[in-house]
Amino acid sequence: MAAINRDDVAHLARLAHIEMSAEELDRMAGELAVIVESVKSVSEAAGEDVPATSHPIPLTNVFREDVVGHTFTAEQALSGAPDAYEGRFKVPAILDEG
Amino acid sequence: MTENNELIRSSAATLAGKLAAREVSAVEVTQAHLDRIAAVDGKVHAFLHVNTDEALAVAAEVDAIRAAGGPAAQELHALAGVPIAVKDLIVTVGQPTTAGSKILEGWHSPYDATVVKRLRAAKMPILGKTNLDEFAMGSSTEHSAFGPTHNPWDLDRIPGGSGGGSAAAVAAFEAPLALGTDTGGSIRQPGAVTGTVGVKPTYGGVSRYGAIAMASSLDQIGPVSRTVLDSALLHQVIGGHDPHDSTSLPDPLEDLVAAASIGNVHGMRIGIIKELHGEGYQTGVENRFNESLELLKSAGAEIVEVSCPNFKYALGAYYLIMPSEASSNLAKFDGVRYGLRVLPEDGPMTIERVMGATRAAGFGDEVKRRIILGTYALSAGYYDAYYGSAQKVRTLIQRDFDAAFAKADVLISPTAPTTAFKLGEKLNDPLAMYLNDVATIPANMAGVPGLSLPGGLADEDGLPVGVQLLAPARQDARLYRVGAVLESLLEAQWGGPLLDRAPSLTEPSPGTPSLADPALNDTVASHGGSH
């Protein structure tokens, strides 16, 4: 497995939508390299024949009755929004028109 | 003052009895705890928000119903009027919910978590919201954006994490009960280092609806208290099926209070997990653990040794699965629907850049570390090696538990490898911090229930040690049965509860004048901290 480096962290930070300063990228790359190294053994622990477990106690076909349950009013849904306009969330520009 | 002291030191079960007998009013009980919070929380910092008015109003309602008598009084829940604190990861109408993060500072949920609805239905006054590591990510509560909580046993030490606020509130007699959440040990490890009881129920045994998700396949809400019986009482209030949580088990809740009252372990097989003690565990932790084994043996339990060879991969697998799920769960904090929005300093004002600036300013270091690690583990080319392998390890851990539970009814280990360490000691070493959860993580990986109870004080530092009990999935009742027996054996040896030996937090230090004036007392409390 490849070690994690500063460029990887910069790329991951962009994917995760977290702006990072140069100093932060350096520090994070160092810390993550140590963590990734320490979890490496996990990839060698289980053979091909071991099935994956995603949920500890799997339940199947969890459905509810097809009736209207509790819903928020628009006012409640918008109550924590940083910006709203005429009953809707107000979002910054999606595209850069530069 | 002495009366108040007696009220705040009473167990929830004792308070419930006194309330039912009308020896004391719910308003008196609630006020006594609010007074204690005012007196000591300046030093402890267990609470992020104190819910004075609503708590007193609920208490007054309980008192009015009891005074009126009749069927309404008969139907009151046994814990009606017994106050409780709620970890600030669980959403509540009428109080802010921050998850310990700047990104949610000042946010009010438009709905109640199911567990909160159940507290309200039982008419338990909610005292306030307790401190935690940001989004429950940490083992010391030092990753809270609003400052650390201090361990009531030694204010210079950590109260454990992430639920250090709930554990410290209960240990400092600010609340008889609290709610916590446990993803890798966040209820049990704080219980261990504060000398209190904490239970992580079977995965799906308590609804997670309204708990802000960190790692959805690991998270579990559970009780925090000073006695095993009190945890059983609270578990009984919050447990059971909830259609709002698709992972909620449909099984009916067992009678956990009855289990805590059985009072014997004769003939039960209790398994020591070979891999979860010995090397890497502090001597005092190991000594107290061995004493608990002797006590259980003397009470007629059969002690057997079991081996769980794949537990050595549990920590590594956990630090792949948990960040992967967290990175996905925390993607919703986008600066649009709720919480903080930060605008970039210059350049185009696009949603992408607003999101980047918001998340940079709103999340702390540990949260960023885990999001980046999770994004890495899930990325193309690494998914199979990391996330896929970790999920296979999960299967191996479940198989280890299955084999162990074929030989033992309950498993036992120390809850944490050490007692409480100093604030700041491990803050700059993430890996050292992660090791605190080495004994608690396997339960979350397999979904089995676990309970931590006080096992005594370590000789070398005089700080609390935790003993962990683990049971098969859906067998939470066994934890309460064995836990209550061990607790009574230990307390008989100590001559009372372990917390009787904790510092009072209100006694003036030698040489200072008497603080008879409560106003003066408050001033001192709010400037305290040096202990």
Ranges of each domain in chain B: 2-311+396-522
pLDDT classification of B341: cutoffs 50, 70, 90: very high
> Which chain B residues are closer than 8 Å to A96 by Cβ?
348, 350
Chain B nearest C-alpha distance from A63 (Å): 8
Interface test with B, best of A35, A36, A68, A79 (most B CBs within 10 A): A35
Q: Tell me whether residues B327 and A16 touch, CB distance under 8 A.
A: yes
Residue B310 in contact with partner chain A when CB distance is under 8 A: yes
Interface test with A, best of B342, B389, B426 (most A CBs within 10 A): B389
Rg (CA), chain A: 22
Coil, strand or helix: which one is B381?
Answer: coil
**Burial class for B72, CB neighbours closer than 10 Å (0-12, 13-18, 19+):** exposed
Q: Tell me whether residues B108 and A28 touch, CB distance under 8 A.
A: no
User: Which amino acid, residue B90?
Assistant: I
pLDDT classification of B517: cutoffs 50, 70, 90: very low
pLDDT classification of B508: cutoffs 50, 70, 90: low
Closest-CA residue to B290 (of B41, B490, B26, B494): B490
> Which chain B residues are closer than 8 Å to A49 by Cβ?
none
For residues B457-461, average pLDDT:
97
Higher-confidence residue of A95 and B145: namely B145
Q: Tell me whether residues A43 and B249 touch, CB distance under 8 A.
A: no
Q: What is the pLDDT of residue A98?
A: 53
Q: Tell me whether residues A31 and B319 touch, CB distance under 8 A.
A: no
Q: What is the pLDDT of residue A97?
A: 65
Q: Which fold has domain B2-311+396-522?
A: Amidase signature (AS) enzymes (3.90.1300)
pLDDT tens-digit readout, B93-131: 999 999 999 999 999 999 999 999 999 999 999 999 999
For residue B191, what are the CA distances in angstroms to B179, B223, B399, B468? 12, 10, 28, 10
pLDDT tens-digit readout, B400-438: 999 999 999 999 999 999 999 999 999 989 888 999 999
Inform me whether the pLDDT recorded for A95 exceeds 90. no
Q: Tell me whether residues A50 and B395 touch, CB distance under 8 A.
A: yes
**Interchain CB contacts (distance < 8 Å): A and B:** 185
Sheet holding B269-273, edge to edge: B47-50, B126-130, B84-87, B177-181, B221-225, B197-200, B450-457, B464-470, B410-414, B269-273, B302-306
pLDDT tens-digit readout, B224-270: 999 999 999 999 999 999 999 999 999 999 999 999 999 999 999 99
User: Which amino acid, residue B183?
Assistant: T
Nearest CA in chain B to A95: B350
Closest-CA residue to A32 (of A47, A16, A44, A46): A16
Which of B:326-365 have CB within 8 Å of A?
327, 331, 334-341, 344, 348-357, 359-360, 363
Which of A:14-53 have CB within 8 Å of B?
14-20, 24, 28, 31-32, 34-36, 38-43, 45-46, 50-53
Q: Tell me whether residues B372 and A89 touch, CB distance under 8 A.
A: no
Chain A nearest C-alpha distance from B440 (Å): 15
Inform me whether the pLDDT recorded for B511 exceeds 70. no
Chain A nearest C-alpha distance from B277 (Å): 21
- Give me the residue from B313, B357, B398 closest to A53, CB to CB: B398
For residues B159-179, average pLDDT:
98
Q: What is the pLDDT of residue B346?
A: 86
Inform me whether the pLDDT recorded for B516 exceeds 80. no
For residues B481-493, average pLDDT:
98
The predicted complex's ipTM stands at 0.95
**Burial class for B307, CB neighbours closer than 10 Å (0-12, 13-18, 19+):** middle
